[in-house]
Amino acid sequence: MSKVLDLKIEGMTCGHCEASVTKELQKLAGATDIVVKASTGSAHLVVDEQVTTDNISAAIDEAGYKLISN
């Protein structure tokens, strides 16, 4: 069963930020329909049950940013 997540991400300011976060989230098996917007500091994605908040947070950290809510 999949669920839709709308996340707040701290520190994104530009298109490069969006691309970095998108690239890391795309590496998560089970994450689809990823839309990241620096202008709103947000990410929208669909995940299946194998994707955890810890997985998402780690991917965002790897891109150099911080998950501030989910």
pLDDT tens by residue, 1-21: 899 999 999 999 999 999 999
What would the mean pLDDT of 43-56 be, rounded to a whole number? Answer: 96
Would residue 1 count as lying in a domain? no
Half-sphere exposure of 35 (CA within 13 A, CB side): 7
Which domain covers residue 19, as residue numbers? 10-44+51-69
Does some domain include residue 3?
A: no
Residue 35 has pLDDT above 60, yes or no: yes
Residue 4 in domain: no
Fill in the DSSP letter of residue 43: E
pLDDT class of 70 with cuts at 50, 70, 90: low
Tell me, what's the pLDDT at 1?
Answer: 86
Q: How many domains does the chain have?
A: 1
Asked whether residue 5 is assigned to any structural domain, the reply reads no
Distance CA(38)–CA(55), nearest Å, equals: 21
> What's the CATH code of the domain at 59?
3.30.70.100
Cut 0.85: pTM above it: yes
